[in-house]
């Protein structure tokens, strides 16, 4: 499953999760029990996380569709998706204001007394100049150096976004090795470990260099062109 298809599925799942939060708030109109309020309060606590994940995957879908990665019946109406999400999101906020007034107070206290976090960039807008890696062990170190500088070491990128970029810059065998991993924070580190074990093996790299030398055209005395191929 590619990045685009996976993000589409995650959008559906996030819409469903948001709907369940909304339904729990709606249920309080008929059931004001402590259990019902606690259920909504617990589910409401995940609202911002759902919203952030939704924006992340919606942006991935938008970028893929703009690049021509999907069209026709495979494409989705991103504006409609966002509008539907925002309607339920605002509905959840209204229900929390009605049934969980303490949530407003807690938000204010957190903003006042907790350490202010640096805002994260969900998706970078610029196109990062990272070369694609297609499985040649001799190129892996160079690929990782550039990927680490531009993506991996960038603290403004969420891990799931780094994983999106990692998949986008892989082709062939490397992509197949990690393509079945779901886009998530935890799987990003797992994907890097899989690639490191497969392509940073020194013995494999040395063997590839020997294979190139073995297959190279033999150098002839007095033939400068045949000698230069070894440099």
pLDDT tens digits along 158-214 = 888 888 888 888 999 999 999 888 878 888 999 999 999 888 866 655 665 556 555
The answer to whether the CB of 76 falls within 8 A of the CB of 8 is yes
Q: Which residue has the higher pLDDT, 171 or 229?
A: 171
- Say which range, 7-11, 112-116, 206-210, has the weakest mean pLDDT: 112-116
pLDDT for 122: 46
3-state secondary structure 77-123: CHHHHHHHHHHHHHHHHHHHHHHCHHHHHHHHHHHHHCCCCCCCECC
Residue 117: pLDDT above 70? Answer: no
Phi, psi of 102, rounded to the nearest 5 degrees = -70, -20
Residue 138: pLDDT above 50? Answer: yes
- Say which range, 130-144, 164-178, 217-231, has the weakest mean pLDDT: 217-231
pLDDT, tens digit, 9 for 90 and up, residues 46-73: 999 999 999 888 888 888 887 765 555 5
Distance CA 75, CA 69 (A): 9
Nearest to 91 by CA among 57, 37, 47, 54: 47
pLDDT for 97: 83
pLDDT for 212: 59
Q: Which residue has the higher pLDDT, 210 or 23?
A: 23
Residue 123: pLDDT above 60? Answer: no
pLDDT for 124: 46
pLDDT band for position 115 (cuts 50, 70, 90): very low
| Structure tokens belonging to residue 155 | 């603290």
The answer to whether the CB of 137 falls within 8 A of the CB of 201 is yes
């Amino acid at each position: 499953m590619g990045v685009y298809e996976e993000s589409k599925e995650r959008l559906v799942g996030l819409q469903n999760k948001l709907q369940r939060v909304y339904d729990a708030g709606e249920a309080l109109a008929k059931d004001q029990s402590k259990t019902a309020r606690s259920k909504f309060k617990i589910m409401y606590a995940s609202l911002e996380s759902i919203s952030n994940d939704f924006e992340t995957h919606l942006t991935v879908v938008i970028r893929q569709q703009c690049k021509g990665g999907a069209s026709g019946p495979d494409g989705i109406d991103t504006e409609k998706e966002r509008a539907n999400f925002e309607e339920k999101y605002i509905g959840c906020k209204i229900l929390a204001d009605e049934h969980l007034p303490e949530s407003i107070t807690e938000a204010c206290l957190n903003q006042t007394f907790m350490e202010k976090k640096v805002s994260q960039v969900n998706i970078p807008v610029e196109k990062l100049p990272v070369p694609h890696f297609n499985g040649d062990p001799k190129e892996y170190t160079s690929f990782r150096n550039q990927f680490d500088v531009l993506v991996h070491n960038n603290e403004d990128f969420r891990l799931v976004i780094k994983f999106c970029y990692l998949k986008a810059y892989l082709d062939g065998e490397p992509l197949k090795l990690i393509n079945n991993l779901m886009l998530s924070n935890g799987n990003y580190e797992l994907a890097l470990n899989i690639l490191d074990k497969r392509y940073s093996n020194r013995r494999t790299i040395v063997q590839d260099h020997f294979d190139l030398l073995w297959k190279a055209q033999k150098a002839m005395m007095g033939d400068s062109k045949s000698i230069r191929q070894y440099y």
